[in-house]
């Protein structure tokens, strides 16, 4: 594996900039490895022991500007704020890399190995049983009954619902320039898997709650790291009248957002605030706090309070939500979002996890 050593003490913004330029170089093992050690927080921990944390991305890689990137940001925050944290990242180039990449960290005595993504569930279950003294965290899948595995599950449908309300208000009331008369929005999914479909189901329901006659086109690219496919699918939906595109496709979705920008229509970001990708195009983003789940788990391992099983993140604990709404929209949009949020929290609105086709 090719290794590059990064100095500790980077700010999160600087770290994000470095990630954006790192690429996903192919090596003989099919992975890219990045390591870092130290920390700029306290100099000693309760035990004085260095905690080694390894992060394995899925095939989307660190440049997905989405959940892999967020997991990395959470690890960097722990690196900065907690004492004696040593970190390393391996970027998977294919699904066949998952088991060897997870095993690599476990074999090297890492205290915590983080698997980013639902598609790594089988690999985590296999490797965790082989290395029972190593703690594992999987993002976006529920693994129970294995004492050294914790799962972070996000109620993404709630975030999707709120983003759908924004899109529906903009669409129904023609609140932005270039909103056409087709009353249509488009969704570009990565794969038909629960972490994708929960976002989409919530978005559909939220959109139709304020624009019941509107149309939501849903297509899947079957990829999380193909910007060209994301652009192609978005252009296809735009040609059918969609003027707001919601990509739920990791790095593939970057292409969708760029296509919306080029066509002078709009987009809704996903996982993190993606407005920086296309200012003036991204009207809001449906977000989930993958970074928080990573930070909290690292701290739990350090404190000796790691617990296996499922940790849920939703609106009630700020584990999901939406990013700031594009400027220039009337207060009625924010009011509608806030009302929807309260009705979800109260149980008045039950958000579906099933995509309507």
pLDDT in tens, 324-344: 999 999 999 999 999 999 999
Pull the structure tokens for residue 179.
Answer: 């909103």
Show me where the domains of the chain are located: 3-154+290-317, 156-288+327-346
Residue 121 has a pLDDT of 98
Over range 95-118, report the average pLDDT: 97
Task: Classify domain 3-154+290-317 by CATH architecture.
Answer: 3-Layer(aba) Sandwich (3.40)
Residue 357 has a pLDDT of 87
Q: Look at 23-32, 49-58, 207-216, 262-271 and tell me which has the smallest mean pLDDT.
A: 23-32
- Residue indicated by tokens 């980013």: 116
Pull the structure tokens for residue 270.
Answer: 């996903």
The beta-strand segments (E) located in 107-199 are 112-116, 135-139, 149-154, 184-189
Residue 104 has a pLDDT of 98
Q: What percent of the chain has a predicted confidence (pLDDT) above 70?
A: 87
**In sequence order, which residues have a C-beta less than 8 Å from that of residue 161 and are 6 or more positions away?**
202, 203, 205, 206, 209, 340, 344, 349, 351
Question: Is residue 37's pLDDT more than 50?
Answer: no
The model's pTM is 0.87
Q: What is the DSSP letter of 20?
A: H
Q: How far apart are CA 348 and CA 340, in angstroms?
A: 9
pLDDT in tens, 142-201: 999 999 999 999 999 999 999 999 999 999 999 999 999 999 999 999 999 999 999 999
Residue 48 has a pLDDT of 73
Question: Is residue 8's pLDDT more than 80?
Answer: no
Over range 269-287, report the average pLDDT: 98
Pull the structure tokens for residue 292.
Answer: 């928080």
Q: What percent of the chain has a predicted confidence (pLDDT) above 90?
A: 86
Q: How far apart are CA 148 and CA 143, in angstroms?
A: 10
Residue 47 has a pLDDT of 57
Residue 46 has a pLDDT of 39
pLDDT in tens, 244-265: 999 999 999 999 999 999 999 9
Identical fold, 3-154+290-317 and 156-288+327-346: yes
The CATH code belonging to domain 156-288+327-346 is 3.40.50.2300
Q: Dihedral through CA 73, CA 75, CA 81, CA 86, nearest 10?
A: -140
Residue 21 has a pLDDT of 35
């Amino acid at each position: 594996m090719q290794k590059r050593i990064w100095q500790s003490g980077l700010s999160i913004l600087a770290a994000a900039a470095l990630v954006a330029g790192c690429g996903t170089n192919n090596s003989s093992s099919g992975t890219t490895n990045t390591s870092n050690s130290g920390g700029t927080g306290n100099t000693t921990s309760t035990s004085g022991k260095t905690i080694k944390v390894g992060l394995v991305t899925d095939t989307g890689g660190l440049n997905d500007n989405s959940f892999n990137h967020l997991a990395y940001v959470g690890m960097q925050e722990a690196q900065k704020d907690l004492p004696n944290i040593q970190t390393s990242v391996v970027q998977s180039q294919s699904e066949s890399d998952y088991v060897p990449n997870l095993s690599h960290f476990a074999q090297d005595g890492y205290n915590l190995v983080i698997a980013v993504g639902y598609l790594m569930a089988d690999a985590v279950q296999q490797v965790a049983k082989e290395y029972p003294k190593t703690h594992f965290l999987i993002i976006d899948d529920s693994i129970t009954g294995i004492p050294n595995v914790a799962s972070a599950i996000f109620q993404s449908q709630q975030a999707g619902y709120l983003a759908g309300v924004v899109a529906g208000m903009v669409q129904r009331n023609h609140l932005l320039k270039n909103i056409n008369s087709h009353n249509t929005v488009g969704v570009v999914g990565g794969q038909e898997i629960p972490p994708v479909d929960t976002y989409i189901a919530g978005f559909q329901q939220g959109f139709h709650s304020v624009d019941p006659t509107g149309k939501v086109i849903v297509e899947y690219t079957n990829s999380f790291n193909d910007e060209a496919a994301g652009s192609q699918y978005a252009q296809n939906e735009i040609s059918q009248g969609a003027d707001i595109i919601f990509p739920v496709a990791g790095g593939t979705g970057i292409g969708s957002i760029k296509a919306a920008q080029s066509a002078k229509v709009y987009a809704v970001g996903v996982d993190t605030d993606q407005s920086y990708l296309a200012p003036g195009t991204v009207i809001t983003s449906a977000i989930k706090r993958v970074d928080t789940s990573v930070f909290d788990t690292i701290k739990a391992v350090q404190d000796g309070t790691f617990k296996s099983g499922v940790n849920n993140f939703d609106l009630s604990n700020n584990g999901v939500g939406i990013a700031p709404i594009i400027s220039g929209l009337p207060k009625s949009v924010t009011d509608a979002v806030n009302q929807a949020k309260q009705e979800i929290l109260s149980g008045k609105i039950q958000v579906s996890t099933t995509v309507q086709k």
